[in-house]
Amino acid sequence: MEDKVLLAYASKYGSTKEVAEAVAGVLRENGLAASLQPVSKVRDLAPYSAVVLGAPIYLGSWLGDFRRFLARHQDAFMKRPPAIFTLGPTHSDPDEWQGVRNQLAQVLAKYPWLNPSTLELFGGKYDPAKLRIPDNLLAALPASPLHGMRASDARDWQAIRSWTQKMAKQLLLEKS
């Protein structure tokens, strides 16, 4: 096994991918070899000494390719729990954050076998002008929570950096 960290992500509109790139950058600054890949491209976890995963929440669930990835590697993740970050709230409204924390608790309840070494919720990014079918149709429905929601980017790069630095320290400790 090489001493390499897998950083695998799912992303529909690219904001989680950009966070994953930032996380990979901080891991590398800390001397860790990070391999950044979309979950759809990862076949084998054996070459990696640790796994960090990132995925956004959509309609109260993780994206489908992320869910399939977790299911495919359940045995490996039960033996070696991954670190996970997830994106969701797109504004700084405390009620929205609390709602997403509740959603995240429900998401995790579907994976009783999953016990992440660390789990962090980061703000996400929303741009109604970039939505594709079916998301744009959904956002157009007056009853949708996305209806009339303004564009925003709630990603806190300092928080992302701090979380990653803490995780890098832990990974380096495990290496030594």
Catalog residues that contact ligand FMN under the rule CB under 6 A.
11-16, 56-60, 87-90, 100, 103, 124-126, 131, 135, 138, 146
Q: Could you tell me the two tokens for 23?
A: 């996380």
Helix, strand or coil, per DSSP, at residue 157: helix
Closer by beta carbon to ligand FMN, 47 or else 145: 145
Q: How far is the CB of 174 from ligand FMN (least distance, A)?
A: 28
Q: Could you tell me the two tokens for 57?
A: 């929440």
Handedness of CA 36, 41, 42, 44 (dihedral sign): negative
Q: Could you tell me the two tokens for 84?
A: 């996970």
The residue assigned the tokens 């994206």 is: 63
Closer by beta carbon to ligand FMN, 5 or else 87: 87
Closer by beta carbon to ligand FMN, 76 or else 119: 119
Q: How far is the CB of 1 from ligand FMN (least distance, A)?
A: 29
CB 19 within 8 A of CB 54: yes
Q: How far is the CB of 6 from ligand FMN (least distance, A)?
A: 18
CB 110 within 8 A of CB 103: no
Closer by beta carbon to ligand FMN, 58 or else 111: 58
DSSP code at position 39: G
Closer by beta carbon to ligand FMN, 13 or else 111: 13
Q: How far is the CB of 170 from ligand FMN (least distance, A)?
A: 25
Angle between helices 15-29 and 157-175 in degrees, nearest 10: 50
Q: Could you tell me the two tokens for 49?
A: 């000494």
Q: How far is the CB of 119 from ligand FMN (least distance, A)?
A: 14
